């Protein structure tokens, strides 16, 4: 059955969710306060890079099932189901999450709800937020008790956002303990297509649903920092962290995924979510429980410093050296440079006196806004031309596939740091390169 849906926020999460809901057959209106974004989306253009999403948005703008507006009252009039997918960034100067955008949606939409409606929060919020918003909604919505709130966290990965939205691993729904029924019924109608395919559907209380999201991200961050901590030990002892990860990853209880040692994690979610989680635990008086996340964060940040130190050693002093940094995005298939280890390393090298030439297939423009003093070029060979050192900082396929001989012909010195352990090391060594991986002392 087709539902009339609104989605507040048209960033990665909101735009993908809106297009995904249209693909499931619903009629969708996306709402954003940014008129420029709305205008572009209405023309089927995306303000960011996400594979497959422009096609999906265009398909449903054309089919008439997806439109965009800046006017919240259009959404309130049109839809009976509202999703909130706005950002919850780290607060400036502290670890806690800033939930003001979520609150602003509730304060704007709530007073417009004069008939029964269901709101699903998708944003990542500190535990306790959903209950507070549910109470607030009852106060400000004219329809009062007929307005329901559910918390429905989103687990999508950038680069796979469409796939993760249409075929999620699981659907989690947090409901108000006192009035659970209606929200679950509505969610079952909205996600009928996925539930028919036996997607696990877990209904919990509000607090659990909020914690599921941050716990999942904290676990992933911990797994990455675990292997990066082991990488430090490998470096000190002459062992190879990739072989080690392969060996421990065969144990099903451990698993090989997210054991990629390298420059560590970045992006709009993992770093800020673990910090917000620590801040919230502290407010709840259980800061000790999450003390280990401080170390997870610390290990992660040390990888960036390690790469810079390694670069300094290899070139015999960064001042005046020319360094090619391949990659600026926090991971491949994305133009997102938020908390990007690649860009952080590039910027630090520059501050230490190196001439830094950056190439990223999609993120050059975003990177140039944050670090205008670096040189950006349109192709990896151009970036490497005349370089004393090449650093692969984001594992784009284009970089993994580079031919060592072709790159060697243009550089000044054949030295490479594989910051993501993504290159065929032996091929580079055979071609005459001085190769350094992360946690791979032997090479």
**Active-site residue list:** 269
110 counts as binding ligand UDX under rule CB under 6 A: no
- For residue 368, the minimal CB distance to ligand UDX (Å) is 20
Decide if residue 211 touches ligand UDX (CB under 6 A). no
Q: Name the residue nearer to ligand UDX (CB basis): 18 or 269.
A: 269
Interaction of residue 157 with ligand UDX, rule CB under 6 A:
yes
- Which of 134, 269, 349, 416 lies at the binding interface for ligand UDX (CB under 6 A)? 269
224 contributes a contact to ligand UDX by CB under 6 A: yes
In the bound state, the residue with its beta carbon closest to ligand UDX is 260
Task: Examine residue 399 and tell whether it contacts ligand UDX (CB under 6 A).
Answer: no
Stretch that binds ligand UDX, among 19-27, 140-148, 258-266, 432-440 (CB under 6 A): 258-266
Query: What does the DSSP 8-state code read for residue 337?
Result: -
- 262: closest CA among 400, 365, 368? 400
Could you give the string, one character per residue 294-333, with x where binding to ligand UDX holds by CB under 6 A and - elsewhere? ------------------------------------xx--
Q: Which of 85, 110, 267, 327 binds ligand UDX (CB under 6 A)?
A: 267
Task: Return d(Cα 108, Cα 366) in angstroms, integer.
Answer: 31
Beta strands in 228-367 (DSSP E): 322-326, 355-359
Neighbours of 145 (CB within 10 A): 9
In the bound state with ligand UDX, the residue whose beta carbon lies nearer, of 331 and 359, is 331
| 206 interacts with ligand UDX by CB under 6 A | no
How far apart CA 10 and CA 34 sit, in angstroms, is 9
How far is residue 255's CA from residue 54's CA, in Å, rounded to a whole number? 33
* Closest by CA position to 23, among listed 39, 46, 8, 5: 5
Considering CB under 6 A, how many residues would be counted as binding ligand UDX? 20
Decide if residue 217 touches ligand UDX (CB under 6 A).
Answer: yes
Smallest separation, CB 10 to ligand UDX (Å)? 17
Q: How far is the CB of 301 from ligand UDX (least distance, A)?
A: 13
CB nearer ligand UDX, residue 333 or residue 355: 333
Which residue, 150 or 268, is less far from ligand UDX as judged by CB? 268
According to the binding rule CB under 6 A, does residue 404 interact with ligand UDX? no
Determine which helix (DSSP H) or strand (DSSP E) holds 68, and give its type and residue range. strand 66-69
Residue with tokens 């360094």: 323
Among 95, 258, 377, 386, binds ligand UDX (CB under 6 A): 258
Task: List the one residue from 75, 119, 171, 270 that touches ligand UDX (CB under 6 A).
Answer: 270
Long-range contacts of 97-101 (CB under 8 A, 24+ apart): 97/124, 97/125, 97/126, 97/272, 97/273, 97/276, 97/279, 97/280, 99/123, 99/125, 99/126, 99/129, 101/9
Q: Does 158 bind ligand UDX (CB under 6 A)?
A: yes
Q: Residue for token digits 């002093």?
A: 317
CA distances from 407 to 156, 185, 379, 400, 404 (A): 35, 58, 12, 12, 5
Provide DSSP, 237-262: HT-BHHHHHHHHHTSTTT-STT---S
Greatest Cα pair distance in the chain: 73
Span of 89-97, 189-197, 252-260, 375-383 interacting with ligand UDX by CB under 6 A = 252-260
b/e 59-86 (16+ beta carbons within 10 angstroms → b) = ebbeeebbbbbeebebbbeebebbbbbb
Tally the residues of the chain. 443
Out of 265, 371, 433, 435, the residue judged to bind ligand UDX by CB under 6 A: 265
Minimum CB separation of residue 432 from ligand UDX in Å reads 29
- Contact positions toward ligand UDX, by CB under 6 A? 154-158, 217, 220, 224, 258-260, 262, 264-267, 269-270, 330-331
């Amino acid at each position: 059955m087709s539902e009339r849906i609104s989605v507040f926020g048209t960033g990665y999460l909101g735009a993908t969710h809106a297009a995904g809901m249209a693909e499931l057959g619903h009629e969708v209106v996306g709402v954003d306060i940014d008129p420029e974004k709305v205008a572009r989306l209405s023309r089927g253009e995306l303000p960011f890079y996400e594979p497959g999403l422009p096609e999906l948005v265009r398909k449903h703008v054309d089919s008439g099932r997806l439109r965009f507006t800046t006017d919240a009252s259009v959404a309130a009039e049109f839809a009976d189901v509202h999703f909130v997918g706005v950002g919850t960034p780290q607060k400036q100067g502290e670890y806690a999450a800033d939930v003001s955008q979520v609150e602003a949606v509730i304060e704007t939409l709530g007073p417009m709800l004069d008939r029964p409606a269901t709101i699903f929060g998708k944003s990542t919020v500190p535990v306790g937020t959903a209950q507070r918003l549910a109470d607030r909604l009852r106060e400000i919505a004219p329809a009062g008790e007929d307005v329901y709130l559910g918390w429905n966290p989103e687990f999508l990965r950038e680069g796979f956002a469409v796939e993760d939205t249409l075929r999620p691993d699981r659907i989690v729904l947090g409901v108000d303990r006192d009035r659970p029924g209606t929200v679950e019924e509505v969610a079952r109608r909205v996600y009928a297509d996925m539930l028919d395919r036996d997607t696990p559907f877990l209904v919990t209380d509000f607090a659990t649903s909020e914690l599921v999201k941050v716990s999942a991200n904290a676990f992933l961050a911990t797994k990455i920092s675990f292997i990066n901590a082991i990488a430090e030990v490998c470096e000190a002892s002459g062992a190879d962290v990739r072989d080690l990860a392969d060996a421990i990853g065969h144990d099903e209880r451990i698993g090989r995924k997210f054991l990629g040692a390298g420059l560590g994690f970045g992006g709009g979610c993992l770093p800020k979510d673990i910090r917000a989680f620590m801040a919230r635990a502290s407010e709840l008086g259980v800061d000790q429980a999450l003390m280990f996340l401080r170390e997870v964060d610390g290990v992660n940040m040390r990888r960036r410093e390690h790469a810079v130190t390694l670069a300094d050693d290899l070139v015999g002093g960064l001042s005046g050296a020319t360094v090619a940094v391949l990659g600026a995005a926090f991971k491949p298939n994305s133009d997102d440079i938020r908390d990007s280890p690649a860009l952080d390393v590039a910027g630090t090298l520059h501050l230490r006196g190196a001439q830094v030439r950056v190439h990223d297939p999609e993120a050059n423009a975003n990177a140039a806004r944050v670090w205008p003093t670096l040189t950006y070029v349109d192709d990896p060979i151009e970036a490497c031309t005349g370089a004393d050192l090449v650093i692969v900082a984001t594992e784009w396929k284009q970089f993994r596939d580079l031919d060592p001989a072709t790159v060697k012909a243009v550089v000044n010195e054949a030295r490479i740091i594989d910051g993501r352990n993504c290159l065929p090391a032996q091929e580079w060594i055979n071609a005459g390169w001085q190769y350094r991986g992360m946690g791979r002392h032997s090479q």
